[in-house]
């Protein structure tokens, strides 16, 4: 079905988003913001039921919504997957061994491969799309030990940058984790 163009060049959309999102055995229609809230941000991967079209052993996709100050305190080490992280909105920093990558303009992205340790911090309220492959069981992290949540922020723009190593540019020792603050009310 194609999009019809109405008067004054405006597009009209056809079709409805049905309350029952599973359209048939191989099609799923949803909203990333709503669906992500149901499974810690994850939209697709091995952790979805095998009968769900979003089940995949090959890839994982996450719609991450992060308040300002939200961070992954414990570094991911021994990574077995490749990852792509794309900034949708906000300002988001990814810490890698020896470098800090700032994603500040919509569409900025970073890719890291097998064996690359990492952590992250939302410098402003941010939305990021993460794609990881393959989808590997056993990587679930306990949020109680891992994240610090901060106050909300606004969207911003600017080029992606790679900076010299900062204070968090190398993985801290396991016993140097920060305590998690209480989430905002």
Looking only at the bridges linking them, the beta strands covering 60-66 and 71-72 are: unpaired
Nearest alpha carbon to residue 107 among 123, 127, 83, 125: 127
pTM of structure: 0.68
- The CA distance from 42 to 52, in Å, is 13
Unique residue bearing structure tokens 């988003």: 17
Q: Tokens 């922020």 belong to which residue? A: 153
Rounded Cα gap, residues 87 and 173, in angstroms: 28
Where exactly are the structural domains of the chain? 15-138+151-166
**For residues 38 and 121, what is the distance between their CA atoms, to the nearest angstrom?**
22
Q: From first to last of its 185 residues, what are the pLDDT tens digits of the chain?
A: 455 545 455 444 444 444 445 555 789 999 999 999 998 899 999 999 999 999 999 999 999 999 999 999 999 998 889 999 999 999 999 999 999 999 999 999 999 999 999 999 999 999 999 999 999 887 665 554 455 444 333 222 223 333 333 444 455 443 333 332 322 23
* Beta-bridge mates of residue 166: none
The first and second tokens of residue 109, run together, are 């992205």
Instruction: Please state, in angstroms and rounded to a whole number, the distance separating the CA atoms of residues 8 and 71.
Output: 46
CATH class for the region spanning 15-138+151-166: mainly beta
> What pLDDT score does 141 carry?
58
CA dist 153 and 182 (Å) reads 18
Tell me the pairing of strands 22-24 and 27-28.
antiparallel
């Amino acid at each position: 079905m194609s999009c019809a163009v109405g008067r004054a060049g405006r597009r009209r959309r056809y079709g409805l988003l049905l309350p029952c999102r599973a359209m048939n055995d191989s099609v799923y229609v949803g909203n990333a913001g709503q669906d992500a809230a149901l499974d810690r941000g994850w939209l697709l991967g091995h952790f979805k039921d095998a009968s769900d079209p979003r089940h995949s052993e090959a890839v994982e996709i996450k719609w991450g919504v992060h308040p300002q100050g939200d961070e992954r305190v414990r570094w991911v080490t021994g990574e077995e997957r490749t990852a792509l992280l794309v900034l949708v909105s906000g300002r988001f920093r990814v810490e890698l061994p020896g470098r800090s990558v700032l994603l500040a303009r919509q569409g900025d992205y970073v890719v890291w491969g097998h064996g690359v340790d990492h952590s992250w911090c939302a410098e402003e309220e941010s939305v990021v799309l993460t794609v990881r492959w393959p989808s590997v069981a056993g990587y679930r992290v306990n949020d109680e030990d891992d994240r610090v949540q901060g106050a909300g922020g606004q969207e911003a723009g600017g080029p992606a940058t790679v900076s010299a190593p900062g204070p968090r540019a190398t993985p801290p020792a396991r016993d140097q984790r920060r305590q998690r603050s209480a989430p905002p009310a």
